Amino acid sequence: MENRVKNELSIVAPCLNEEKLVPEFLSRARAAAAKITDRWEIIMVDDGSSDSTWDTIREQHRQDGRIKGVRLSKNHGHQTALTAGLKASGGARVLVIDSDLQDPPELMWEMNRLMTETKAEVVHAVRRTREGETWFKLFTAASFYWLLGFLSDLRIPKNSGDFKLMSRRVVNAINQMPEGHRYLRGMIYSVGFQQVTLEYERKQRAKGKSKFGLFRMLRFALDGITSFSMKPLRMATLVGFFTGISGLVWATSIVIWSSSQGQSFSSLSIFVPLFLFFSGLQLTVAGIMGEYVGRIFEQVKQRPLFIIDECVGIEPPLGFDQTT
């Protein structure tokens, strides 16, 4: 069910162990939002922090009721935390932004202006530069976008992240999507409508370290590919077919060559490498199929995407999963 529009602007910001950055982020976000409208709200989603992030959010709410908070029962992951914030939002336009201050809250004014002028439904903030990131991070990010474009029909703007401004009807469409493995960048692109980009300079983290390590990056990439593409399965079928033909040709050529040279050959010289090759290929294909089957298994259980421990300043609308 669609959320009722209660404000002109909602700002959704997930956070994980960001107690040192939350006050500065909120100060800058409040000032930026005030330049657009006085009917705004900021929804901080605490994704299972182990420090005093939630206490800081509650204190900020006591000082300004337009600052609201959702505390998840555990660490559900960045994309699920964003989903919780989107479901809690009630703005005609919704900005999603990380709270680590790498993405400047001040850019929301320009994003809002561009959305108004172009009548677009989504404004993607695209990183022109990425300060403080290693060559490995830049290389893997570029490789992921290339691979996602190759394996799917998604053409997500290169160097765009989750820093976006969306209209209410795009947010409502996203909220109706039930899949458990969330890849919001692809989901937002898949709804269609007019979508535009705005370039900006991305700064280093002001404090702390990134929570997005290599394992999470790989899992994130896997979710993106398997959620929006069947090509890996089709490619596995084609690879299996052509390698089978190649193996048959290889074995036949060895027999013919040995016979023409009048030489004997050992069956091990043919079957051992063929056995190892096809065994590895079968395991690879089975692994690809297993990723898809595993996602089907998790989806059919229909468990809630997230469980909320506590809210401040929010009355959960229908469809907003919460324990009672």
SS3 264: coil
Angle at 230 between CA 184 and CA 196, to 5 degrees: 35
The DSSP H or E segment spanning 127 is strand 122-130
Confidence of residue 100 (pLDDT cuts 50, 70, 90): confident
**111-156 residue pLDDT tens:** 999 999 999 999 999 887 755 566 666 666 666 666 666 666 666 6
DSSP 157-210: PTTEEEEEEEEHHHHHHHHT---SS--HHHHHHHT-S-EEEEEEEEPPPSSS--
Determine if the pTM surpasses 0.85.
Answer: no
- Write down the pLDDT at residue 76: 83
Place of tokens 């199929």: 289
Domain boundary assignment for the chain: 7-211+304-312, 231-300
Give me 188's structure tokens.
């937002």
| Greater pLDDT, 86 or 1 | 86
pLDDT of 106 strictly over 60: yes
**199-247 residue pLDDT tens:** 888 776 555 555 555 566 666 566 666 666 666 666 666 666 676 667 6
- Write down the pLDDT at residue 179: 78
The closest of 170, 189, 13, 36 to 113, measured between CA atoms, is 36
Give me 154's structure tokens.
């998604």
Contact 108, 35 (CB under 8 A): no
- Write down the pLDDT at residue 138: 62
CATH 3.40.50.720 fits 7-211+304-312, yes or no: no
- Write down the pLDDT at residue 22: 93
pLDDT of 45 strictly over 70: yes
